[in-house]
Copies of this chain bind each other. A is one copy, B any other.
């Protein structure tokens, strides 16, 4: 790969986040299965549906550039984040505590995407790709919303329940 122009970097980052999203669609069902709290499980299910739409948006953007997101190159950043999340799912523990851990892992994933889409929307703007910019900003707003929803879920109930488990107090 040669990165002689911002357009080439833009394409590189588009393919990277495409791989990241595809990995997320495979990881989310495991997190949904592992979640004990119905609210968490439904928030993750909703995010899976949103992720599918975000991939469709990337398909549209890449198709307009005569490109495809399909490639052999896996996004290593997301791979590491999801491995970390999967390791947590293997741990033993109280259901409320594991749910709090799932939220923590999911928020790391959200923040990767917030960084990635923030960068991509800025590149699209500079490159005069206004339709793509609109689609990328729409996804960025969804990722921020998903992150906030997870924070609310953690702060309003799950973390509090996790604190109340036997070992939660000294």
Residues of A within 8 A of B (CB): 1-9, 12-13, 16, 75-81, 83-84, 87, 91-94, 97-98, 100-101, 103-104, 107-108, 110-112, 114-116, 118-119, 122-123, 126-127, 147, 151, 154-155, 159-160, 162-163, 165-168, 170
A20 to chain B, nearest CB (A): 10
Is the Cβ of B98 less than 8 Å from the Cβ of A3? yes
Known contacts A98-B3, A122-B155: does B77 contact A108 (CB below 8 Å)? yes
Q: Least Cβ distance of A46 to chain B in Å? A: 19
Q: Bound state CA distance, A100 and B167, in angstroms? A: 47
- How many subunits of this chain does the assembly comprise? 2
Q: Is the CB of B97 within 8 A of A162?
A: no
Q: Identify A76's interface contact among B4, B6, B84, B159, CB under 8 A.
A: B84
Q: Which residues of B contact A16 (CB under 8 A)?
A: 84
Instruction: Please name the residue on chain B nearest to A94 by beta carbon.
Output: B4
Provide 20 A-B residue pairs closer than 8 Å at the C-beta atoms, listed in order of the A residue: A1-B92, A2-B92, A3-B92, A4-B97, A5-B166, A5-B168, A8-B97, A8-B167, A9-B101, A75-B84, A76-B84, A77-B80, A104-B115, A107-B119, A111-B111, A111-B115, A112-B112, A122-B151, A122-B155, A126-B160
